């Protein structure tokens, strides 16, 4: 039961270009979406998030877009830098319960080529 899906296991882009990472979800009850970045041998680190009542959130080089009707979100990184090379996880939250666990996608490995 994959409620959050990242269909591209990997993505390679040139330094300075735009990276677009995609995520789809199936449960319309999610009300918050997050992107986490993970380097090897480290835990996931929070990158950016968006509430379901918004369609865009921007933080520096990172922008997340949400299309609720399509149950789709994307993370744009502009311009991409070699240090952005990592696994990016899409996560969703808000299914209720006291602690609002995160439901993660399978991740996309981004490689930014110098």
Partner 1 sequence: EPEVTQTPSHQVTQMGQEVILRCVPISNHLYFYWYRQILGQKVEFLVSFYNNEISEKSEIFDDQFSVERPDGSNFTLKIRSTKLEDSAMYFCASRSTGTPNTEAFFGQGTRLTVV
From the list 28, 36, 86, 85, the residue with the least C-alpha distance to 64 is 36
Nearer to partner 1, 98 or 114 (CB): 98
Closest to partner 1 by CB, 34 or 77 = 34
* Binding residues for partner 1 (CB under 8 A): 31-32, 34, 36, 41-46, 49, 51, 89, 91, 93-94, 97-107
Please, which residue, 13 or 87, has the CB nearer to partner 1?
Answer: 87
Listed in sequence order, the residues at least 6 apart from 27 whose beta carbon sits closer than 8 Å to its beta carbon are 3, 92, 95, 103
Closest contact distance (angstroms) between CB of 91 and partner 1 is 8
Q: Which residues pair with 23 in a beta bridge?
A: 73
């Amino acid at each position: 039961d994959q409620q959050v899906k990242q269909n591209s296991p990997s993505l390679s882009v040139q330094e300075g270009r735009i990276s677009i990472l995609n995520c789809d979800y199936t449960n319309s009850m999610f009300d918050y979406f997050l992107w986490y970045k993970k380097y090897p041998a480290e835990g996931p680190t929070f990158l950016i998030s968006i509430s379901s009542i918004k369609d865009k959130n921007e933080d520096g080089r990172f922008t997340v877009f949400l299309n609720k009707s399509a149950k789709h979100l994307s993370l744009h990184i502009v311009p991409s830098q070699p240090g952005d090379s990592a696994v990016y996880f899409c996560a969703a939250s808000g299914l209720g319960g006291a602690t609002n666990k995160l439901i993660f996608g399978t991740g996309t490995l981004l490689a930014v080529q110098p």
